[in-house]
């Protein structure tokens, strides 16, 4: 076949295969037998092999996988992927509804969708072509899993309009695929996956894309990050648009005019739950109007215009085989129940939380008891009670030890606390847990340093305090189990990169009592660098928003310790950044920009920069962004195809700029 003919045939095959794919995997209406599809795919692959220059970025041949990666790159999401607030019962839903109505009035409708139990992903399209897909990660930064996502046949590699958008969806493993996969794993003497969600996550984090391709994953897409920029006014219209573009959306969605209607619908869906071919763990309720969504805005963690209703906990009975004790980062001893494996809420459970000694006593939980295990969604299962009438006489009361199971120092109970603690500062378990915390995602976020590697490093005495991490060498790491040259290189690179982290990650990683990741950020922003924070008095700390008595005391005590000051100067010498490098809130009086102190609304589509960048740039000049136009608005910046907000601004006689005006002011 000459080149011209090959080119024509490749294009033809790509089109046919895309069509087959769409019919089979998105519409669920296959028009040809599988054998026909396979034959066309083989033909395409062999033609592309003959003419590699004719293989396009959106060719369906990529569906079969083939790329083998070294590691996943980090990706920053265009707009953050937030998680939703939870509702566990009717009252929570009524409260949500009341808050919504208080904010936007009574004219509210809700779009109700199933909450698929899978892995949230973000898909980026440039001019209609799928260019990048990422995991949710910490919401701001995820991992680039593009090649694996391409193997999901319901993800279009090209959409029906040349849009540049980021869509969000839930990748999942259908129940039948999950069961078949686990059966095979058992046959091969491999550990079966605990649930479809773990199986989906594990498949998408395969470095060998051929494995992911074999896992039969699927996806439901549920939102476009830049909906309001493309002229859509409601969540439900957004879902219809996704259908039009060629995405697979879940068809169980409904509109409800009242929260009572939502509650009724949830009851129906609960009974249908077992019939779906995929696992769901709840229902998502969203305010349908995007204008109202913007008016409602966000809390620090989640949007105020949506809530996830979680199905209630399921309970099962199984036998308690043993009680294991572990020592946490702060020395707290936690008992864990080891159970005869049992299936509950879609997962196999072998361990469950017993919380603390008091709970064991209060519920009179004994070894070999038949216990009630409770589990809801992704919440850790817990032992809820004992079936006392099923006792045979073989049960044994459990006695907490007097000594730390790891370092054998005497355990103490601090007044006012239920937990037993090991207070030996040299306790190896605490040090190891502290190291694991230091490298974890919300702390220093060092890829490739999980619990397993840290435990090895600690055992081999290569690392005994966090500063040792920054002294690790290639020669030391290569000796560890399951560490190839490539993983060592990657690991050293991510350790090196973590030195550049903004101060709040270090603060959180150090594990100061009561200082969570949010408080760490607040402190880092306020004090700018560790030297200023170190010198801060309790009074100065209390002046900071959201820093309370306990936190202030904990910070002061922490920086009084000689060994902490030594550790910090070591880290500084090793090149670890100790300054806040994130975006800073600018006070209006410190800025001479026109934006300073003004309340500004951005609407319509910007062409020169993303809306998020524009927002950050304006805030950096002391401007305040608002979601909706009101009398309090000082300035409206209208991009292309601006809609109702522009009209309202005109009605209220508010100053209106276009994008060019804004860019000019930003350049000053």
Q: Is 422 in the site for Zn ion (CB under 5 A)?
A: yes
- Cβ proximity to Zn ion, 426 vs 592, nearer residue: 426
Stretch that binds Zn ion, among 242-250, 351-359, 414-422, 542-550 (CB under 5 A): 414-422
Report the nearest approach of Zn ion to the CB of residue 279 (Å): 40
Report the nearest approach of Zn ion to the CB of residue 468 (Å): 20
Q: Is 333 in the site for Zn ion (CB under 5 A)?
A: no
Binding map of Zn ion across residues 394-413, x = CB under 5 A, - = no contact: ----------x-xx------
Check: CB of residue 349 under 8 Å from CB of residue 382.
no
- Cβ proximity to Zn ion, 430 vs 440, nearer residue: 430
- Cβ proximity to Zn ion, 170 vs 406, nearer residue: 406
Q: Which of residues 365-394 bind Zn ion (CB under 5 A)?
A: none
- Cβ proximity to Zn ion, 455 vs 473, nearer residue: 455
Decide if 518 is catalytic.
Answer: no
Which residue in the list 3, 74, 115, 550 is annotated as catalytic? 115
Question: What is the rounded CA–CA span in Å between residue 264 and residue 269?
Answer: 9
- Cβ proximity to Zn ion, 117 vs 406, nearer residue: 406
- Cβ proximity to Zn ion, 21 vs 424, nearer residue: 424
Packing angle between helix 659-667 and helix 611-620, nearest 10 degrees? 40
Question: What is the rounded CA–CA span in Å between residue 181 and residue 133?
Answer: 24
3-state secondary structure of 252: coil
In terms of DSSP H, where are the helices of 276-356?
290-296
Check: CB of residue 150 under 8 Å from CB of residue 204.
no
Q: Is 420 in the site for Zn ion (CB under 5 A)?
A: no
Question: What is the rounded CA–CA span in Å between residue 285 and residue 301?
Answer: 17
Question: What is the rounded CA–CA span in Å between residue 515 and residue 546?
Answer: 11
Tokens of 604: 């319509």
Report the nearest approach of Zn ion to the CB of residue 419 (Å): 13
Question: What is the rounded CA–CA span in Å between residue 248 and residue 21?
Answer: 11
Report the nearest approach of Zn ion to the CB of residue 433 (Å): 11
DSSP 565: H
Check: CB of residue 579 under 8 Å from CB of residue 503.
yes
Q: Which residues contact 358 (CB under 8 A, 6 or more apart)?
A: 418
Report the nearest approach of Zn ion to the CB of residue 411 (Å): 8
Q: Is 427 in the site for Zn ion (CB under 5 A)?
A: yes
Q: Is 283 in the site for Zn ion (CB under 5 A)?
A: no
Stretch that binds Zn ion, among 47-55, 171-179, 417-425, 615-623 (CB under 5 A): 417-425
Report the nearest approach of Zn ion to the CB of residue 403 (Å): 8
Report the nearest approach of Zn ion to the CB of residue 229 (Å): 55
- Cβ proximity to Zn ion, 424 vs 522, nearer residue: 424
Beta strands in 300-409 (DSSP E): 306-310, 314-327, 333-344, 347-353, 366-367, 370-375, 382-386, 396-397
# of chain residues touching Zn ion (CB under 5 A): 6
Q: Which of 455, 544, 477, 473 has the alpha carbon at shortest distance from 507?
A: 544
Measure CA 258 to chain center: 30
Stretch that binds Zn ion, among 118-126, 348-356, 425-433, 580-588 (CB under 5 A): 425-433
Report the nearest approach of Zn ion to the CB of residue 131 (Å): 50
Question: What is the rounded CA–CA span in Å between residue 296 and residue 82?
Answer: 15
- Cβ proximity to Zn ion, 426 vs 589, nearer residue: 426
Stretch that binds Zn ion, among 334-342, 418-426, 544-552, 648-656 (CB under 5 A): 418-426
Q: Which of 658, 643, 612 has the alpha carbon at shortest distance from 228?
A: 643
- Cβ proximity to Zn ion, 318 vs 430, nearer residue: 430
Check: CB of residue 344 under 8 Å from CB of residue 360.
no
Check: CB of residue 438 under 8 Å from CB of residue 444.
yes
Report the nearest approach of Zn ion to the CB of residue 457 (Å): 19
In terms of DSSP H, where are the helices of 225-327?
235-245, 259-272, 290-296
Residue listed under structure tokens 């910090």: 568
Question: What is the rounded CA–CA span in Å between residue 115 and residue 117?
Answer: 6
- The residues annotated with a catalytic role in the active site are 115
- Residues found near Zn ion in the complex (CB under 5 A): 404, 406-407, 422, 424, 427
């Amino acid at each position: 076949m000459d080149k011209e003919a090959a080119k024509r045939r490749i294009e033809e095959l790509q089109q046919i295969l895309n069509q087959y794919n769409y019919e089979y995997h998105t519409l669920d209406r296959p028009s040809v037998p599988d054998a026909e599809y396979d034959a066309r795919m083989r033909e395409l692959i062999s033609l592309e092999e003959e003419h590699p220059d004719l293989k396009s970025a959106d060719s369906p041949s990529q569906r079969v996988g083939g790329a083998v990666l070294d590691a996943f790159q980090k990706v920053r999401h265009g707009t953050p992927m937030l998680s939703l607030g939870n509702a566990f019962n009717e009252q929570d839903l009524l409260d949500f509804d009341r808050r919504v109505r208080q904010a936007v009035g009574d004219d509210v409708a809700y779009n109700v969708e199933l909450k698929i139990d899978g892995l949230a992903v973000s898909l980026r399209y440039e001019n209609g072509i799928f260019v990048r897909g990422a995991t949710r990660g910490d919401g701001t930064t995820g991992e680039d899993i593009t090649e694996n996502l391409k193997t999901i046949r319901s993800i279009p590699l090209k959409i029906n309009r040349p849009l540049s958008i980021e869509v969000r969806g839930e990748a999942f493993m259908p129940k039948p695929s999950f069961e078949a996969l686990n059966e095979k794993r058992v046959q091969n003497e491999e550990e079966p996956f605990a649930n479809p969600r773990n199986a989906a996550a594990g498949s998408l984090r395969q470095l060998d894309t051929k494995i992911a391709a074999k896992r039969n994953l699927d996806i439901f897409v549920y939102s476009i990050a830049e909906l309001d920029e493309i002229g859509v006014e409601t969540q439900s219209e957004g879902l219809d648009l996704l259908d039009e573009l060629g995405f697979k959306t879940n068809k169980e969605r409904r509109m409800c005019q009242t929260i009572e209607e939502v509650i009724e619908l949830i009851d129906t869906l609960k009974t249908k739950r077992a019939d779906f071919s995929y696992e769901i763990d709840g229902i998502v309720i969203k305010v349908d109007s995007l204008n109202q969504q913007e008016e409602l805005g966000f809390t620090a963690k989640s949007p105020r215009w949506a809530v996830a209703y979680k199905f209630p906990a399921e309970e099962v009975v199984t036998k308690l085989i043993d009680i294991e004790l572990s020592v946490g980062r702060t020395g707290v001893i936690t008992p864990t129940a080891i159970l005869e494996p049992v299936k509950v809420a879609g997962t196999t459970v072998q361990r469950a939380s017993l919380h603390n000694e008091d709970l064991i006593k209060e519920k009179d939980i004994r070894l070999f008891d038949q216990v009630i295990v409770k589990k809801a969604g992704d919440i850790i299962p817990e032992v809820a009670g004992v079936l006392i009438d099923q006792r045979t006489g073989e049960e044994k009361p459990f006695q907490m030890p007097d000594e730390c199971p790891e370092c054998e120092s005497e355990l103490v109970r601090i007044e006012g606390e239920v937990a037993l603690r090991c207070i030996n500062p040299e306790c190896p378990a605490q040090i190891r847990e502290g190291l694991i915390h230091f490298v974890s995602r919300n702390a220093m976020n060092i890829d490739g340093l999980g619990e397993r590697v840290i435990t090895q490093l600690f055992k081999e005495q290569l690392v005994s305090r966090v500063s040792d991490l920054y002294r690790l060498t290639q020669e030391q790491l290569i000796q560890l189990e399951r560490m190839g040259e490539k993983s060592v290189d990657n690991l050293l690179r991510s350790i090196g990169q973590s030195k550049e982290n903004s101060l709040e990650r270090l603060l959180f990683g150090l594990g100061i009592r009561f200082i969570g990741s949010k408080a760490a950020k607040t402190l880092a922003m306020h004090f700018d660098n560790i030297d200023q924070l170190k010198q801060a008095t309790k009074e100065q700390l209390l002046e900071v928003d959201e820093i309370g008595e306990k936190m202030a005391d904990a910070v002061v005590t922490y920086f009084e310790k000689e060994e902490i000051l030594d550790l910090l100067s070591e880290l500084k010498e090793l090149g670890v950044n100790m300054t806040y490098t994130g975006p800073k809130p600018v006070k209006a009086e410190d800025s001479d920009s026109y934006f300073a102190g003004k309340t500004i609304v951005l609407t319509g589509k910007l062409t020169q920069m993303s809306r998020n960048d524009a927002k950050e740039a304006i805030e950096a000049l002391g401007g305040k962004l608002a979601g909706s136009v009101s009398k309090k608005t000082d300035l409206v910046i209208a991009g292309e195809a601006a809609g109702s907000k522009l009209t309202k601004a005109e009605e209220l006689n508010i100053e209106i700029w276009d994008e060019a005006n804004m860019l000019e002011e930003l350049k000053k």
